[in-house]
Every structure is written in structure tokens, then in C-alpha cells.
Amino acid sequence: MSGRSWKASELRVKSWDDLHKLWYVLLKEKNMLMTQRQMLHAQNLRFPNPERIPKVRKSMCRIKQVLTERAIEDPDPRRSAEMKRMINAL
């Protein structure tokens, strides 16, 4: 059994640094799951809990959504543009 995806409301209360760290934890998890799925597929074995991948992807999309909201709300246009560049690089 795997956990659920992060809700946007839960992510909105986190700091930029916490969201950045969580992004990379999720990226590592996604890469591990995709590698595991590919290895099992090559051996004609069933990938356990395939619903984990969409949950990780959904959480990652929600992090980008929350960071984009913050960038749009930032009153400093230069800082907003820099934040948007960083988000697009994720």
C-alpha cells in the first residue's frame, strides 16, 4: 500500500526551500519507480503498486502549481521572473 499525493493546500504552507527539497525527493522516487518498472517489464514481471507513479507525478505538478502561484503574486517583477525561470527549469 502506498501513500497519497500531496494536496496543494498542504504544499502552500511550506517554505520555498521545503518545496524545493520535496521536489527532489519526489524526483528521486519517480526515477526509482520508473527504473523498477522498466526492469520488471524486461523480465515479464508485474510492477507492484503501479498507482504510485501517478501519485508522485501529481504531487510534482502541484508543487509547480504552488510555486507558480507564488511567483505570480510576487510584487517584484524581476524576482517574479527569476522564480518563473527556476520553476520552468524543474
pLDDT in tens, 24-62: 999 999 999 999 999 999 999 999 999 999 999 999 999
Would you call 68 helix, strand, or coil by DSSP? Answer: helix
pLDDT in tens, 78-87: 999 999 999 9
Alpha carbon distance 69, 46 (integer Å) = 39
Alpha carbon distance 42, 62 (integer Å) = 31
Alpha carbon distance 85, 80 (integer Å) = 9
Alpha carbon distance 59, 26 (integer Å) = 8
User: What pLDDT band is residue 90 in, cutting at 50, 70 and 90?
Assistant: confident
Cβ atoms 14, 68 nearer than 8 A: no
Section 59-75 average pLDDT: 95
